[in-house]
Structure formats: C-alpha cells, structure tokens
Structure 1
Amino acid sequence: MITARLNRIAAAGTVCGSIIRLGDGHVISVKAAPDATFLEEVFLWPGLTAPDTEAWENEDTLEQWLTHDEPGGHLYLDVPADAVRELIQDHLGEDEEQDRVDFPPVRFLIEARSRRGHWVVHVEGEMAGRIFREGGVWYARAYGSDAPVECAGAEAAAARLVEFADVAAGRSTTAGQAQARTAAVLNAVATDNT
C-alpha cells in the first residue's frame, strides 16, 4: 500500500503536527523534521493501539501521568518512519480522502504539551489559545486574553476555545450567548483581581 501522505511528511517535515487518517477510520498525528527517518512524535488517537514492538517502546508515559490521560490517546517519541508505515498498512493504508472537511468531528487539534505544561489549541488551522491544568483544574486562555477561564476538563477547555474563536469570527449560532458568558467570566475574574 502507498503511504503518500506519510512520505510527504517525512520528506518535508511539519511545523507543529499533521493528521493522517487511516483506511479503517483510525487517526494518527505526527511531527517530523525534514528528511526524517524517525518521527519526533506520533500520537495515536483514542481507540488505536501501538504494535508491541521495539519501535514503539518509547511511549511518553510521563505525559500520561501528568495529564491523567485527559486528552486521550497515546504519544510515542522517536518512532522509525518504517514502523509508522507498517502501522498505517496494518490499518488498511491511508484514507483516500485525507482532506475531507467532515472529519474529524471536532474542529480543534491539541498539540503536545509544552515545557511550561500548556497545550496549544488550533481551531480550524489557526492558533486559538492554550489550555492548561493548575491545581487539578483545567483552564482555557484565548490568545489576546489575560484571563483564563475555568473548565470541566481538557476537552471542555478546548471546546471553549472553539467557542471563543467562533465568537471572534462571528460564525457561531450561539455567539451572543457565548459572548455574554465570556464577558461575565472575564468581569468576574477582573473583579476578583482588584
């Protein structure tokens, strides 16, 4: 089976990460430097497990422990490109419609955790903000905002950034509600800080 998307990623590299849809419906995200024989990061989305081989033994378990598996899936570091290619082939190759807009059902992508313990969230390909966990509580902070908003979990924090992005772009059907709620939260935070 041809792995054209993986081949392009391994040759050109990625800026932050690229999604590869597999033929059986599973998804992986990969990060690589140009001319890569090893991929820096391979994130297996929930429902997909890595083969039990030496190539996949470098799982970032510290990341899982720090996040209590909140974002879901499994992150592997320094995986040989050939091992990723075999995984793709074991799952019916690459989906023929990689750029289909109806997939994935969520509109955001959460990057790997930064050294500061924050995750950058992209909404429809644009950086929307960061989510982070402090004292067991998840927060979302939109770019350009000084006030983080408390959320129920990592997914809820990312969803809040999607909502903020929709409000900013005027494309949310609940934009008025989201703006009112956001203003109330930001006013409460500003009041608490004075």
Structure 2
Amino acid sequence: MAKKPILDRPRDSIIKRPLQTEAEEPSRTEDYDGSGLPKYLGEVMLVEERRRRLNLFVVLMFIHLEPKKNPRLGHRQSATTPRRVLLDTGADFNLISDEAHTELDLNKQPYNGRVHSIGGYTDLSSTVVLQWHFRSYRSEADQSSPSYRAPFYVLPPESEAKFDCILGRPWIEENWDEFIALVELNRRKESSQ
C-alpha cells in the first residue's frame, strides 16, 4: 500500500511517516511524547495557506437591467445585478459570456467577427450595450458611483468563460483613474486579510 500523508491540523502541516499505510488511522494522543514533541521523526512539509489570493484585477460590476414597470406602483423600477468582471489591459475590447448575457435577458445586435487570442480564434455573432457602475470606494457619503456605458461582444455558448465580463484596454485607458482606484481597493482588501 502507498504511504499517505496525514494532516496535522493544529500546526497546519503535513507529516509523512515512513511506515504509515492508508489503512492506519492516526491517533492524536499517540503522536506526541510527554515533552510535547512529536514521537515520529518524519518529513514535515508546510501546507500552503488555505485562503485563496485575491486577484487584484477582478471586481464586481453592477449591470443596470432594463426598467420593468411595477403595476402596483405605477412607475418603472430599475434594477442592477452584480457580475464578476476582469479588468484586462491586454484585451482589445469588452466581452460578456453567453451565460451571463442569457441570464440578464438583454437585447443583442447581430455582429460578425472573430476574436484572436493565445488559445486560437473565436467567432462572435452578437454585441450588446451594457450600462453599469462599480461599488463606491469614495469616503464621502454623498458621492455616488459614476455610471458607464459601453458595447460588449457576446461570447458563443461553447466558450468556457472564466468571468461574466471582461473590460478591455480601451475602457481602461479612457477611465484610468477608476481602474487604478478599483485595483488599489482590491490591494487594500488583500493586505488587510
């Protein structure tokens, strides 16, 4: 039988014992001698920290949905939905996944084009204009977040998008201060954890 590492939870490390097999059940009380030191001299490997590192270039955008008329109130009520967006300085345009587009139920316009990336080519068949805002990062309570509007190309259903949306270089260059503020906010969150 193959040797299996045991997770030593109090010290967050893995201890490999030379003679341990998969069938053996580790005993926490038998692992230590009277002095508090481990009985077994094995190879100790530190486990990488369990928490995931925050990607500084992934933020939440709040997409404004089409206003829907509320019959009880007699007026149109607008709503937003949060979506994960990658701020990608290497992308030449904005993209939205087919899944996110379908969930949002937005009107799309026909488009015929092709995206070239490191993984090859992807054919695009539609585009949609989104309006969105980011969560306010300003300390002043009376300042609301600015709203943005830009076209997004809809990825085909077979593409395996890792994000709901990608904001590309043109938007980033046009809104440089906002881009820096969003990345800096993520950096502060990362360092405070």
TM range (shorter): under 0.3
**Which structure: greater helix fraction?**
1
Task: Give the greater-gyration-radius structure (CA).
Answer: 2
Greater relative contact order structure (CA < 8 Å, 6+ sep): 2
Q: Structure 2-normalised TM-score?
A: 0.22
Q: Structure 1-normalised TM-score?
A: 0.22
